[in-house]
Structure 1
Amino acid sequence: MRAIPIAVTALVAALTLTACGGGGDDDGGTKATASPASDASAACKVGQVGIEVDPASAAPAAGDTGIVPVTITNTGAQCTLEGFPGVGLTSGEVSATVAGDEAAQPEKLTLAKDDTATFTITYVRGEAAGAGSLDAKTVQVSLPGDAATQDFPWSYGPLAGKAGKTAADDPDASVSPFQHAGD
């Protein structure tokens, strides 16, 4: 009765050693073989994607909330988006950086060629020529892991600052994480 478990153990050990590969190199030693290519992809770069600022649900009056959707289409090799997009709003020499939504948890997205992802910029409209408002003219978009930006016109009205702050110091706005778009 004991011979069967010992025989099975010996067989499993022999098969395990055989599966490890015994390919020798020129020195008579063994080489470690690389595992198959993993799902790791390089970070998506501004130069390899198309970025489109889609028609917005603009805030009609001061104090109202607006939403600006942005679509990213991968036009190059497979790449990943991990983290929040970078968004900056500028008016002349004054600028504001829009932070990621504190309540959201970004996920790593892998985009094959022609895949799309989206994110939204949610903002509170400020007073026209208001002391704490930023009369933004340009929105700059960057991707995690890439310092390059792409600029688009901002035509959705001035940006409000959070309570007691200016929009340049602490804009009343946030950016959502990336989400897959399409089917």
Structure 2
Amino acid sequence: MRAAPLAATALAAALLLTGCSSGSDSSGGDSAAASPSNGTTCRIAHMDVEVGPANVAPAAGDTGNIPVTLTNQSAECTLDGFPGIDLNATDSSVNVSPEEGTKSTKLTLAKGTAATFTLTYTRGEAGGKASLDVKTLNIALPGAGTAKSYKWSYGPVAGRSDNPDAPNASVSAFTQAGD
């Protein structure tokens, strides 16, 4: 007689555990796909983050590139997925998607080693209806759920021609930095 209540309890617990995650993290990615299968997920709080120096887009319609270098300051960890990038204006925020056709690679970072990625954007027209007047850049690591905010000083970001509410910007995959 006790087997049925125990089985029901085990099933309920399993459903509860799988229901704890909505399947997406704060970076806009799929947390199940972004979580490493072994090792510890890298946390932004344990990284020394360098944003730039940038190849700034000088005028509306020009393309700029902002390299970001993450140096692990803690125990060995894994990056598995794409960086989560949000561009924040005064009254709105947009998520930046990975470069079209780009595949992520799983990287393991020992303490003191680094990875890089690049944010590419098209500069928008100042005050333009289809431009986002970005104030801050939020960076999150895949599967980690928390982000750090950095000042944006690269001008407004243009909206895409097929969807002016989406930024004309993309983020590359992580690559190992250094030797």
Q: TM-score higher than 0.5 here?
A: yes
> In the alignment, residue 71 of structure 2 is paired with which amino acid?
T
Q: Report the CA distance between 1:40 and its aligned residue.
A: 2.9
Q: State the aligned residue count.
A: 143
**Matched residue SS, 1:47:** helix
* CA displacement at 1:164 relative to structure 2: 4.4
Which residue of structure 2 lines up, in the alignment, with residue 33 of structure 1? none
The whole-number CA distance in structure 1 between the counterparts of 2:126 and 2:45 is 35
Q: Give CA-to-partner distance per residue, 1:135-167, whole Å, 9 cap, x none.
A: 10100000001111101011001000110432x
Q: Which amino acid aligns with 1:136?
A: V
Q: Which aligned pairs between 1:102-117 and structure 2 lie closer than 5 A?
A: 102-117=100-115
Identity of matched residues, %: 50
Aligned match of 1:170: 166
Structure ID, larger Rg? 1
With structure 2 as the length reference, what TM-score do the two structures score? 0.77
Q: How does 1:1-183 map onto structure 2 within 5 Å?
A: 40-166=38-164, 169-183=165-179
Question: 2: distance between equivalents of 1:47 and 1:170?
Answer: 28
Question: What is residue 9 of structure 1 aligned with on the other side?
Answer: none
Q: Helix, strand or coil: the match of 2:45?
A: helix
Q: CA RMSD in A?
A: 1.2
Q: Could you list the structure 1 runs, at least 4 aligned residues long, displaced by more than 6 angstroms after superposition.
A: none
TM-score, length basis structure 1: 0.76
Q: Runs of 5+ in structure 1 lacking a partner?
A: 1-38
- Return the alpha-carbon distance in structure 1 between the equivalents of residues 78 and 104 of structure 2: 12
Structure 1 residues 51-102: Cα deviation after superposition (integer angstroms, max 9, x where no partner): 1102100000000000000000000000000110000011112111100112
Counterpart residue identity of residue 82, structure 1: D
User: Larger deviation: 123-132 or 94-103?
Assistant: 94-103
Q: How far apart are the structure 2 equivalents of 1:147 and 1:93? A: 22
> 2: distance between equivalents of 1:120 and 1:150?
16
CA distance in 2, matches of 1:92, 1:99: 21
Gaps in structure 2 of 5+ consecutive residues: 1-36
- Residue 41 of structure 1 aligns with an amino acid whose one-letter code is G
Q: SS in structure 2 opposite 1:165?
A: coil
C-alpha distance in structure 2 between counterparts of 1:122 and 1:56, whole Å: 10
What's the CA shift string for 1:104-138, capped at 9, x where partnerless? 11100000000000000000000000001001010
How far, CA to CA, are the matches of 1:122 and 1:161 in structure 2? 13
- Residue 11 of structure 1: aligned partner: none
